[in-house]
Homo-oligomer: A and B are copies of this chain.
Amino acid sequence: MESLMIYMPIAMAALGLIYMLIKQSWVLKQNAGDGRMKEISDYIYEGSLAFLNAEYRLLSIFVVVVSILLAIVSFVVPTTHWLIVIAFIFGAVFSAFAGNIGMKIATKTNVRTTQAAKTSLPNALKVSFGGGTVMGLGVAGLAVLGLTAFFIFFFWFFMDSSWTNTMDMTIVLETLAGFSLGAECIALFARVGGGIYTKAADVGADLVGKVEAGIPEDDPRNPATIADNVGDNVGDVAGMGADLFGSYVATVLAAMVLGNYVIKDMGGVITDAFGGIGPILLPMAIAGVGIIISVIGTMLVKIKSNDAKEPQVMGALNLGNWVAIALVALSCYGLVIWMLPDTMKMDFFGEGLQDISSMRVFYATLVGLFVGAMISSITEFYTGLGKKPILKIVQQSSTGAGTNIIAGLATGMISTFPSILLFAGAIWASYAFAGFYGVALAASAMMATTGMQLAIDAFGPIADNAGGIAEMSEQEPIVRERTDILDAVGNTTAATGKGFAIASAALTSLALFAAYVTFTGIDGINIFKAPVLAMLFVGGMVPVVFSALAMNAVGKAAMQMVEEVRRQFREIPGIMEGTAKPQYDKCVAISTDASLREMMLPGLLTIGFPLLIAFVPMIFGMNNLAIAEMLGGYMAGVTVSGVLWAVFQNNAGGAWDNAKKSFEAGVLINGEMTYKGSEAHMAAVTGDTVGDPFKDTSGPSMNILIKLTCLIGLVIAPILGGHTIETTGITANNIEVTENVSNTMEVEISTDGEQAQAVVMRTFTENGELKEDRTVLEGTPKEVKTAIENLKVK
């Protein structure tokens, strides 16, 4: 059993995907309605396909370019293997495929939900959540399947499927990082491009349709209305899916890298029932079990009564979610006890090697689950309807848009207080329990329920779309009432889902950051070195500028959309009377093109800066380890500032949105009930206009920015080259091998002060093949130093 453990995650992923296929065929078998309903749904489906196809065309070019770059790097740098290119391409393809499944099922489920809402609310929930389940399990299943398959392959290819040493495993994991990089690049396109798409269409549709032409939202006479509905799917379904796909893969990968370093700290070899790689397999096992748990969780989401309201629907979702979290906690307990040595050794900075019991690793996973649950509550508190911060923004709307804006900004800013304290506490606690391995496993445990989380997230936009279709196809009011209940719940889950996404991005980045340091072999990132501090500043600035670029991109794309809608109203006679059809496809094309074009600059910023920091100083002959430390400073700056700006923008945007929505049911301002159409409501609408790109474009983009930055760092790490140089004991420092030895040598030195012993290991030949070459040097520190220097000359 234990020896087959490496195949367990892949089997679980396969089971999850099979369940997904069954669910998919069930959803597709549901009645898709007819006439106007079907027509509108087809438009949305085709619009989504148009975006996907355009995205894939651009992606193909991008993937080819990056692949060539990676290939060149892998041939020039001996520690990087060309298989990273294959892993990269598959990472991109898997993520794109997962997005494809999600988009297709979402755009097929919407109309079926409308149809089901004609019969009963339980049915409508069953269908819409069924679609969400397909999306969730598709993403989680493909992520685990791809990552574990590649691990098994590389483990066989580089190590003949049995443990040799941590060096070889590092090569395996460095190559595997390509898969993660591919996935995150897709996320850049899906999340940032999708974010621009959805808001450009939304703002464009509103500005001309609602404001200028005076027709209601989702009116089929508005040429941009289909683009608007497509946008919901592009941004909220595909974007969120790709984001979590990337987090999932990166988290597990980082935990594996750190598991490898646990083995290293324990002397380079451990004996366990899992071929000596228990700490590396554990994160994969948690991910695998998480898929099955997600299946169970989704099965629990159902309601019986047709008279149910929001609380019952929310309750059903919560039940599934909490059971899933509890089951993950239980499984983590079992897996940790089973798979880890009872006591491990971990190297803590400044404290040396420490004994860590496996139970402490379990506690670290509990920290991760706690963060996942808490961040949702915090988000809910600052953005939920009827909560104090929202009521305050509503009050401030009475004195105009200016005070509404100030109140919304302040709410978003203050919400960073509990959020950041939560993250900081989580970093501290999980590290105190089990070092950075603990941090990475906290993230893994939190991400284990990704399938379930995504099902809940994707259900929202599906219900939203179903409502739109009901409106456009003029169904009976009861249908809209039922979809509205689902939609309202979906709005809440959308906000908490954003909280989950940023928490996952934050923990993932931290895990990647830790993996980066161990990959490069630097002995920390000292911000008291001025170049490192300078890069911390630059890193802190990038999320701010990125957000501004994303916001400006929405503005530019929306303006183009406005022009096009105006043109159609002007040039197509009979459009307002409903006798002529608008050219929906033109608007879809504009949103598609604009979003992909406008994401270039922020994308370039994201990818370009780490490359500049790594390679420009290299050209000027700067020491590689010094560069690695600078890049680490940059990564830390991006992560800290990115998390801050993500929380700030998401919550400010969410708060403005719900402050505006509060007016629909009426709010009490200065003792008077105030409704839609009042001055205060107009002020709240202005706030929402500002909040829209905050919460749907620039805010969520931060997730991708910070993860991609850390991933690029991780992929560059072997080029910066430290990882093969390890020095323990201080004499090594004294004889200065750290900075001079070539990349292809591993030197381990121990000393008792008078005597030194060095183990020098060369692992690669010059043409990049693996070859071990172990030399043991003994003598006084001076003698060892001379011996090593002689070796270097060879």
Contact = CB atoms under 8 A, between A and B. Distances in A.
A533 interface: yes
Interface string A509-529: 010011001000000111111
Nearest to A730: B730
A693 interface: yes
Contacts of A688: 402
B537 A529 contact: no
A431 B526 contact: no
A540 interface: yes
Interface in A743-794: 751-754, 780-782
A731 interface: yes
A399 B207 contact: yes
Contacts of A435: 530
A427 B409 CA distance: 31
Among A396, A530, A544, A689, the one with the most B-chain Cβ atoms within 10 Å of its Cβ is A530
Interface in A396-416: 396, 399-403, 405-407, 409-411, 413-414, 416
A517 B555 CA distance: 45
Contact of A636 (B396, B536, B780): B536
A609 to B, nearest CB: 11
Contacts of A552: 410
Given A410-B548, A544-B644, A427 B530 contact: yes
A729 B735 CA distance: 11
Interface stretch (A149-157, A287-295, A417-425): A417-425
Nearest to A552: B410
A636 B536 CA distance: 9
A474 B423 CA distance: 59
Nearest to A424: B534
B754 A544 contact: no
Contact of A427 (B401, B534, B754): B534
A648 B534 contact: no
Interface SS majority for chain A: helix
Contact of A405 (B534, B686, B751, B752): B686
Contacts of A677: none
Contacts of A536: 636, 640
A52 interface: no
A432 interface: yes
Contact of A781 (B425, B510, B753): B753
A641 B643 CA distance: 12
Nearest to A518: B528
Given A413-B547, A545-B416, A689-B403, A431 B531 contact: yes
A690 interface: yes
A17 interface: no
A396 B555 contact: yes
A637 interface: yes
Contacts of A410: 548, 551-552, 555
A483 to B, nearest CB: 28
Nearest to A438: B530
B417 A545 contact: yes
Interface residues of A, number: 89
A73 B229 CA distance: 64
A734 interface: yes
A636 B399 contact: no
A626 interface: yes
A239 B763 CA distance: 63
Contact of A540 (B430, B547, B644, B733): B644
Interface string A327-367: 00000000000000000000001100000000000000000
Nearest to A529: B349
Contacts of A730: 730-731, 733-734
Interface in A473-531: 510, 513-514, 517, 524-531
B349 A632 contact: no
A448 interface: no
B533 A510 contact: yes
Contacts of A644: 540-541, 544, 641
Contacts of A537: 420, 423-424, 427, 640, 643
Contacts of A526: 349-350, 524-526
A544 B540 CA distance: 13
A690 B439 contact: no
A406 B531 contact: no
A409 B551 contact: yes
A300 interface: no
A636 B533 CA distance: 8
A752 B686 CA distance: 71
A528 B753 contact: no
Contact of A544 (B402, B421, B648): B648
A89 interface: no
Nearest to A691: B402
A432 B643 CA distance: 31
A510 B423 CA distance: 26
A416 B537 CA distance: 10
A642 to B, nearest CB: 10
Contacts of A428: 530-531, 534
A536 B642 CA distance: 13
A535 interface: yes
Given A427-B534, A432-B530, A753-B780, A405 B640 contact: no
A505 to B, nearest CB: 14
18 contacts: A401-B402, A401-B405, A402-B687, A402-B688, A406-B689, A409-B548, A410-B555, A413-B544, A417-B541, A420-B541, A428-B531, A527-B633, A540-B641, A544-B644, A730-B733, A734-B751, A752-B782, A753-B780
The 4 closest A-B pairs by CB, nearest first: A402-B689, A431-B530, A413-B548, A730-B730
